[in-house]
Structure 1
C-alpha cells in the first residue's frame, strides 16, 4: 500500500533533508509494510525520524510511548516546527491541565494529530485506554526501549506493562527504539513486547569521532576546572551521581569564572527548564548534572562529556558519552575513576530485592572492567554491545595513545579456559578467579572446588591479573557470557579450538587505580620544580632562625612541594595550598609568594592553570562545631562522642585546623588528662630539639613506653597553635 510512496520526496517535503542517514529508509519501509521493527541506533544516529516520517505518511495516529516529560515537549515542539498545523503532534501526560487534555483529545478525534506522545504511566490509565480505543492507530513506537529491561540502566516497572495495554487498546505494528542495548537487553525487550519475530536493525555502535579516557580520581575538581579552562567557549556536560555533588561542583566552576549551571531532579521544574535552555541557547558553557539530564537533548556540538563519578553501568556510560560530538565533530569523553566509588554504589544497592542487587552488581563489574582495562577502550565498549572492532589500535582512546607493555598470555588464557571447562561452564568470573588463585572461601569449599587438580594453578598472580586475562579472553572471543544467566562464563567454539591448538596472544595488565585517593592533596608530583623547592626550604630555614621557630611550624614539606608544583603568586592563591589557611598565609606567606613570583618571571614559567582554582569557603560543620566546643572548654572525648568521631579522627580534624593557621587552646583538656611534667617535656622537645614534626620520630626520641601517641599529638597541637599561629 505504501510501496508507491516516494520516501525521498516525503523526507524533503516534511523535514527538508535530501538523504536518509544509515538504514533509516529500510527501517521506515519495514514499518510501512506493517511489520514489527526493532531499532538499535546510537545517540545522534537519527532514531526519531524512523517513527516521525511514517507517522506523517500513514493514516491514523501513531502512539509514541516515551519516558520523559521534558523529552516529549522537546519532540512535540520540533514536530510543530516542521508542520503548519500545531495539532500535528501532542503529548498526553500529568503536566497538562484539564482544559489542555480536552484540546488534545479534540485534535486527535478530528484526525489532525499524527503523533501522540504518552508516558507509560499515562498509557495505563483507564480513561486513556478508553479514549485510545476510539481512534485509528497507525502503529506504536516505544522510545528509549531499554527502560523495559531490568538489565538496562533505567529499569521502569510501568514499561513492563506496555504489551498487555497495547493488546487491550488494539493491535498495530510496534517499533521499539533504543540507543543502548547489549544482546541480553535486546532479548529482554523483544520478549517483553511480544516481538521476538521483529526485524532487527542494528547500526554500528562505533562513534569514531569520540575520544575515550579514564583518569585516576585524584584532585578531580581541580582537574576538571583545568580541562574546562583549556577548552574555553566549548559546550560541556559533567555528570555526577549525587545532587549534592552537582550543586558543589557547579558552585566551584562559577567561583572560578566558568559559566556553569546545575541540573538535577531535586530542583523545581522551572529552574531545571531554565538551566536547560541556558545551555541550549549557549548562555552557559557547562551543565553539571545527574543522569536526569540529557535524554533527547539535541545539542549537536557538545565537545566534552566528563564523568566526575563512574556510572552504574556501561549502557549508562555509553548513552551519556554519546551526547558528545553528535555533529561528527570533536567529542572528548573523560571519566574519573576510583574503586571507592564502586564500593559506594554497592552500598546504595543494599536493601533492594536480591535479584536486583545481583543484576546491579554484574553491571558494576562490567564498568570496573572497562575503567581498569589497558585494552583499546573502543574494542571493549563495542564488544559489550555485541559488536567486533577489528582494528588493533583505534588511535582515539587513552589506552591506544599510551599503550601499556604487553606479555604473552598463551599459558594464562589456557589456564582460564581449562578451569571454565572443569566446572562445566556453570560459574561466573569471580568464582573462576578464586579457583585460579587458590582462594579458600564458602563457595570454593561447598562446591568442593578446592579439591580440583587446577585449584591454585594460578596462585603466582593476584586476582587483578586474572581479571584482566578473563576480560581479554572475552574480548578475543574465547569465552562468552550466557545471555539468560548473566555472567556465567561459557567456552566458545574458538575457545575450544584454542585449548587444542594454542598460539601466542598478547595481553596487557590492567591499570592499577587502587592507590588513588579520592581528592588527594597536591604535592609530591612529577611536576615538582626541585630548584624552587630548595629555594623555598632555604627561605623557611632563614625565617625560622629569625623568628626562633622550628621550620616545620612555618610550613610543612608537603606544603612547600605543592608551592613548587603550582607556583602560587598571591596570598589568595597560597590559601589553596594544602596546609595553608588564611591565618598562615597572612603571617608567613608574603616572602614565599614574592620568591615564587620572581622565580616564575626570571625563568619564564607557564604556571599550571590549576593554581588559579579558587575554593568555595570551607563549610565543614564539624570544624566549626569543634572550634566552638574547644572555646566552651568541652573535653575532647565528649566533643568526639557528640560528633560520632573516634579520638584519632578528632585529633586529625584539630591538627588540620591548627596547621592551616587557626589558633585553638586545648590546655584545659591537657591539664585534665596529662601530667604537667610530661606536657612540658614534650613541648620542650618540639621547641628545642625536633627537626621535624613527625610523631613517630618524637616517640622514638622521648621513649614510647613513657609517652602515648595521643599525648604527643595533643602537645604538638598546643605547640603549633601557640608558637606558629
Structure 2
C-alpha cells in the first residue's frame, strides 16, 4: 500500500518522498478514521486530503473559508491533471450548474465549497444523493471561539456528523494553541480521531524585529534589498494602507492596496495581479491573505504590531510556503501597547477584553524579547524548545550591552525637571537642547537638564527612553496624553545606588545576513531565465505562475540541470502530467543555456 501511495504521490503531484506526518495521516484517512492535523503553513496539509481523494471512490468535499483559496487550489490540481472544481458566488449560475452536473455524474474527485453554501438544505440533499467519501475542514481554527479568526458559520459544521454518519472527517489548521485545538475536536465531534501535531517551526523563515524610528525610510531601505521579490506589507488601518501604497507607488514600486474598503472587484483584481507576478507588493490590512496559495512570497513586513501571536504566526507564514528562504520583518513601536489598551477600554464584554489583552501582551513580549525569536514563538504554542535557532535577528546579531547608568540618570532627571507632565518627544527635545516654541513657553530651556544630551540623536534617546519604560523605571500615562511619570524603581538609579545595563540602540535599517539554507546554492542567471519562461507560459495558459512550477521546483532544476525527460522527472514537483505539459519548454531553455555556457572543451567546469 505504501509503495502504491508513493507512486501516486510522484505521478500526480511530482514528489518522490513524504513530508513529516503525511504518510501516517493519509493512511489513517484511507482506513476511514477521523483525523485532526496541525501542520505549519507550507507543511503539506492539503496533500493529506488531496491524495486520499484520488484513492477513494466518491467525491471529497473540502470546506474552505475564502474564494481565493478555492481557486488557487483548484487551478493547481487541474494543472496536475486532477478533476477538481469549486462552487462559490464568483461563478455564474451556468457555471455552478455545470459543476453540479459534474458532481452528479461522478466526474469530480474534489469539490471546494464555503460553509454557507455547504449547509444550504438543497446542497446537503444533493450531496446525500451522490455520496461523499471524505469531508476536509480546512482552516479548522475558524470553528473555535478561542481561535484568532473565529467564524460563526463554521460552528454549524457540527451537524454534518449527523447528516453523514460513517463518512470520515479530516480537520486541518496551521494556527491553534492548545485551547483552540481542544475546541476544534469538540465542536466537530470527531470520533476517536487520529491526531497529528506537527512542529510549528518554519526554519526557512528568518524573524527580525526592528524598533520603529523613521518607518518609511526603514521600509524603503529594506525593500531595496529585495530585488523585486514578492512580499506583503501589513498595516493596522485602511488609511495607513492607502497612504503607504501611494508613497511606494511614487517611488516606482509595483504595488497595490488591499483592504475591506475596496469593492470585491477591485480586491479580486489586486489579488490576481499579485498571484500572476504582475505586481510585486501588496500593502494590506489583515483582510488579505488567509489561504492565499502563492508559494513564492519571499517576505512579510508588519508595519505595526499585530494583535496576537496567532495572527502574527499565520501572517508571517504566508512567506516561503515553498520551503525556500524567506523573511518576516516587524517594525515595533512600544506606543502600540498604549493604543491597544485604549481601544480595549471600549470593549463591552470585559471577559473577552481580558483574553484579547493577555494575548496582545504576549505579542508585545515577543517584540521586546532579547532571546531567540523562534524560541518565544514555539514555546508560546506549547512546543518546548531550548536550542536557539541561529536564524533570527537576536541569534544573528545579539544585542550589545553597555553601562547606561549615566544616560538613564539624565533621562529620568529630565522627566522630573519638567514636572512629569510632558510626553516622550518633548522631554527628548529638552535633553537635546531644542528651542521649540513649546520649550520656550514653558521655560524648559532654563532647567538643569536642558542640552545635556545634545551629542546624541533623537532616535538614540528614543531607544533609551523605551528601554527605561521596559525596565519599569518610567511609565507612559495613557490616561493623561501619554505623559512620562517616574516609577519607584527609578529612585535607586537616580541616586546612583544601582547600575543599569542597556542595549546599544540599533538605528540602522534591517540588515540581511547570509542565507542559511542549502537550497540557496543555485545558478541565479538560469533561475531568472526559467522564471521568465514560467511567466510566459502562465500568461499563455491564463494561470498564476506558481501553478506551472513553484520557485522551489525551478531552484531544483537549476541544481540538477536535467537535459532529458528522465532527468526532469527527478526534479521535485515535476510529475507526469506537468512533464507532458511543460517539460519540453523547460528542457529546451536549460539545454540552450548549458550550450551557451559550455567552454570550448564541451563540459561544464
1: CA distance, partners of 2:191 / 2:240: 42
Q: Does 1:65 align with 2:59?
A: no
Q: Give the deviation of 1:138 after TM superposition.
A: 0.6
Unaligned runs of 5+ in 1: 407-514, 525-557, 566-607, 611-725
Distance 1:298 1:97, change over 3 A: closer
Q: CA RMSD in A?
A: 3.4
2: CA distance, partners of 1:118 / 1:67: 8
Q: Does 1:235 align with 2:230?
A: yes
2: CA distance, partners of 1:394 / 1:74: 32
2: CA distance, partners of 1:44 / 1:294: 14
TM-score (norm 2): 0.64
Distance 1:187 1:331, change over 3 A: same
Aligned to 2:582: none
1:86-114: per-residue Cα shift (whole Å, max 9, x none)? xx222222333332222222111101111
2: CA distance, partners of 1:28 / 1:358: 40
Task: Identify which of 362, 384, 388 aligns with 1:388.
Answer: 384
Q: Does 1:107 align with 2:105?
A: no
Q: Give the deviation of 1:394 after TM superposition.
A: 2.1
Distance 1:267 1:379, change over 3 A: same
Q: How does 1:339-358 map to 2 (within 5 A)?
A: 339-349=334-344, 350-358=346-354
Task: Identify which of 344, 357, 376 aligns with 1:361.
Answer: 357
Q: Does 1:251 align with 2:249?
A: no
2: CA distance, partners of 1:562 / 1:152: 43
Bigger radius of gyration: 1
Q: Does 1:375 align with 2:366?
A: no
Please tell me whether the aligned partners of residues 123 and 165 of structure 1 are also in contact (alpha carbons under 8 angstroms). no
Q: Does 1:162 align with 2:157?
A: yes
Aligned to 2:407: none
Task: Identify which of 10, 26, 29 aligns with 1:28.
Answer: 26
2: CA distance, partners of 1:562 / 1:20: 54
2: CA distance, partners of 1:37 / 1:143: 12
Q: Does 1:300 align with 2:298?
A: no
2: CA distance, partners of 1:42 / 1:351: 32
Task: Identify which of 284, 290, 296 aligns with 1:289.
Answer: 284
TM-score (norm 1): 0.54
Q: Give the deviation of 1:145 after TM superposition.
A: 0.7
Q: Does 1:328 align with 2:326?
A: no
Aligned to 1:531: none
Q: Give the deviation of 1:559 after TM superposition.
A: 13
Higher mean C-alpha displacement, 66-75 vs 327-336: 327-336
Q: Give the deviation of 1:405 after TM superposition.
A: 7.8
2: CA distance, partners of 1:228 / 1:118: 37
Q: How many residues align?
A: 424
Aligned to 2:144: 149
2: CA distance, partners of 1:375 / 1:516: 27
1:97-133: per-residue Cα shift (whole Å, max 9, x none)? 3322222221111011111111111122222122222
Aligned to 1:194: 189
Distance 1:516 1:204, change over 3 A: farther
Unaligned runs of 5+ in 2: 402-422, 433-452, 461-507, 511-605
Aligned to 1:311: 306
Q: Give the deviation of 1:560 after TM superposition.
A: 13
1:648-702: per-residue Cα shift (whole Å, max 9, x none)? xxxxxxxxxxxxxxxxxxxxxxxxxxxxxxxxxxxxxxxxxxxxxxxxxxxxxxx
1:569-612: per-residue Cα shift (whole Å, max 9, x none)? xxxxxxxxxxxxxxxxxxxxxxxxxxxxxxxxxxxxxxx999xx
Q: Give the deviation of 1:178 after TM superposition.
A: 0.6
Aligned to 1:41: 39
1: CA distance, partners of 2:266 / 2:11: 37
Please tell me whether the aligned partners of residues 42 and 323 of structure 2 are also in contact (alpha carbons under 8 angstroms). no
Q: Give the deviation of 1:359 after TM superposition.
A: 2.5
Q: Give the deviation of 1:170 after TM superposition.
A: 4.3
Q: Give the deviation of 1:330 after TM superposition.
A: 2.6
2: CA distance, partners of 1:159 / 1:563: 50
Please tell me whether the aligned partners of residues 69 and 293 of structure 2 are also in contact (alpha carbons under 8 angstroms). no
Q: Give the deviation of 1:282 after TM superposition.
A: 2.5
Task: Identify which of 16, 19, 40 aligns with 1:18.
Answer: 16
Aligned to 2:119: 124
Q: Give the deviation of 1:389 after TM superposition.
A: 1.7
Q: Give the deviation of 1:277 after TM superposition.
A: 2.7
Higher mean C-alpha displacement, 200-209 vs 136-145: 200-209
> What SS is found at the alignment partner of 2:329?
strand
Q: Give the deviation of 1:62 after TM superposition.
A: 1.0
Please tell me whether the aligned partners of residues 217 and 516 of structure 1 are also in contact (alpha carbons under 8 angstroms). no
1:34-58: per-residue Cα shift (whole Å, max 9, x none)? 0111111111111111111111110
Please tell me whether the aligned partners of residues 34 and 191 of structure 2 are also in contact (alpha carbons under 8 angstroms). no
2: CA distance, partners of 1:348 / 1:156: 22
Task: Identify which of 61, 72, 81 aligns with 2:79.
Answer: 81
Aligned to 1:459: none
> What SS is found at the alignment partner of 2:283?
strand
Distance 1:298 1:11, change over 3 A: same
1: CA distance, partners of 2:241 / 2:6: 45
Q: Give the deviation of 1:18 after TM superposition.
A: 1.9
Q: Give the deviation of 1:176 after TM superposition.
A: 0.6
Distance 1:395 1:363, change over 3 A: same
1:249-283: per-residue Cα shift (whole Å, max 9, x none)? 11111112222111122222232222223223323
Q: How does 1:410-559 map to 2 (within 5 A)?
A: none
Please tell me whether the aligned partners of residues 216 and 516 of structure 1 are also in contact (alpha carbons under 8 angstroms). no
1: CA distance, partners of 2:103 / 2:258: 34
Q: Give the deviation of 1:305 after TM superposition.
A: 1.1
Distance 1:559 1:306, change over 3 A: farther
